[in-house]
Amino acid sequence: MFWGESPKMDVWVYSDGSGTFDNVHHKTFVYSGLIFTDPQVMELTRRRYVAAERNKRKKLCYSGINELKAFLLKYDDRNDLYRILSDIPKFTVIINQPKLDSKRVFLNPRTKQHYLVFAFVASAKKAFEALVAKGSLLRTDEISFHFNMDEHSTANDGNYDLKDVLYKELKESVSAYSVPLFPKTKNVSIQFCKSDQNPLIRAADIVANRVYSVMNPDNAFSVDLNDELISVLYLP
């Protein structure tokens, strides 16, 4: 880096959802994600998560199961996997669906998609602001953002909308902030992933499931969120 140049860095985000975006039959929908600014930490987390999953698979109750999704895991096993992520910055958006303007949001698949894009972008941006406040990221950094999302967490035809909105919000802050968050943003990429092939997508699923369980407690799995490294946005 030459004198006067901004630091160049990469930020990786892995996200998944929990619940169904359907205000008729479901009250809560959740998006959650993990944020990595260090590739070594990201790789270490991936390896630890895979090793923990491998250990869980030795249990008879998980024999024959191709993918250890959060809803299939027992309470203690979910907690064990969540603890692996204790030092990783996280974010979540909790959507209280009965409070939404159903005639506008749920008018058609496109309007639903627009709202999900808005919710995801707003929650991710809030988390990035928290990282800036802690000094983990600088507004002057030249950042390439790499978003990795579960292929079922958002409609694939929304890819271009999401990419465009993320880029504009991070670089220009056009919708709600007068000062851009990262005015030197280099690029934004989005990759839709198969969760059975990506351990960190499964890790994001664990986070989303935990948040969903906090908002919809039952006798089988009732916990407090109690995580200082998770940025929470409530909508609407």
For 8-235, which CATH class? alpha beta
87, 37 contact by CB (below 8 A):
no
3-state secondary structure of 196: helix
Supply the pTM of this predicted model.
Answer: 0.90
How open is the CA angle 125-92-95, to the nearest 5 degrees? 105
Describe the chain by its helix, strand, coil percentages, rounded to 5. 45, 20, 35
Residue range 97-145, pLDDT digits in tens: 999 999 999 998 888 888 999 999 999 999 999 999 999 999 999 999 9
- Two structure tokens written together for 66: 């191709």
Report which of 101, 100, 56 is spatially closest to residue 82, judged by C-alpha positions: 56
Residue 84: CA count within 13 A, CB half-sphere: 26
- DSSP 8-state symbol, 151: T
- Two structure tokens written together for 148: 């990795």
Residue range 8-51, pLDDT digits in tens: 899 999 999 998 898 887 889 999 999 999 999 999 999 999 99
Least confident of 5-14, 176-185, 206-215: 176-185
157, 165 contact by CB (below 8 A):
no
- DSSP 8-state symbol, 99: G
Read off φ and ψ for residue 139, nearest 5 degrees: -60, -25
What's the residue count for the chain?
236
28, 19 contact by CB (below 8 A):
yes
Structure confidence at residue 92 (pLDDT): 95
Q: Where are the domains of the chain?
A: 8-235
Q: Alpha helices of the chain — where are they, by DSSP H? A: 39-56, 75-84, 102-105, 109-134, 159-171, 199-215
Q: What would the mean pLDDT of 170-177 be, rounded to a whole number?
A: 71
Type of residue at 229: L
Residue range 70-96, pLDDT digits in tens: 888 888 999 999 999 999 999 999 999
How many angstroms separate the Cα of 216 from the Cα of each of 15, 55, 197, 211, 225? 20, 29, 28, 9, 12
CA 37 to chain centre: 14
User: Is the four-CA dihedral 184, 189, 195, 200 of positive or negative sign?
Assistant: negative
- In the chain, DSSP finds a helix count (H) and a strand count (E) of 6, 6
